Amino acid sequence: MGTLKKNICNLDDNAILSEVRDLPAHCKAQIGDALEYACQFWAKHLVGISNSSHDVGDVYKAIDKFFTTHLIFWIEALAVMGHLDVSIHAINDVWQWYISVSHKQFIC
């Protein structure tokens, strides 16, 4: 529990979310509260990181890695939880953060 992965709720390959019996229970059991919170709010926390923080370069690299290795799993998790709309706002928040930190100094 609590790790982004393909088919996080172990649903049938051809499952239609609106037809899955007790989807919220599947989400609770397979995703859990901590990952649900992280999926919904990580980008809001990201925008709080100042572009003058000494760790901003490491965060920048971690975000790049996330988008190349976990993006589709994050979107899937949001979809099964019924929060897919969060992804649009989160990606916009990340984009705005990228702009603010990349203008500062460092593109590695």
Q: What is the pLDDT of residues 36-66, one digit of tens each?
A: 999 999 999 998 888 777 888 888 899 999 9
Question: Which position has the higher pLDDT, 95 or 50?
Answer: 95
- Give the structural domain span for 72: 17-102
Predicted pLDDT of residue 38: 96
Q: Is residue 5 part of a domain?
A: no
Radius of gyration of the chain measured on its C-alpha atoms:
16
Q: What are the helix (H) ranges across 10-55?
A: 23-30, 32-46
Q: Is residue 6 part of a domain?
A: no
Q: Is residue 31 part of a domain?
A: yes
Q: How far apart are the first and last CA of the chain?
A: 34
What's the rounded Cα separation, in Å, for the pair 26 and 8?
Answer: 9
Per the structure block, which two tokens stand in for 28? 């609770």
Per the structure block, which two tokens stand in for 108? 């590695």
Where residue 83 falls among pLDDT bands split at 50, 70, 90?
A: very high
Is the distance from CB of 98 to CB of 86 less than 8 angstroms?
no
Q: Is residue 23 part of a domain?
A: yes
Q: Is residue 59 part of a domain?
A: yes
Domain count, the chain: 1
Name the strand (E) or helix (H) holding 63: helix 56-69
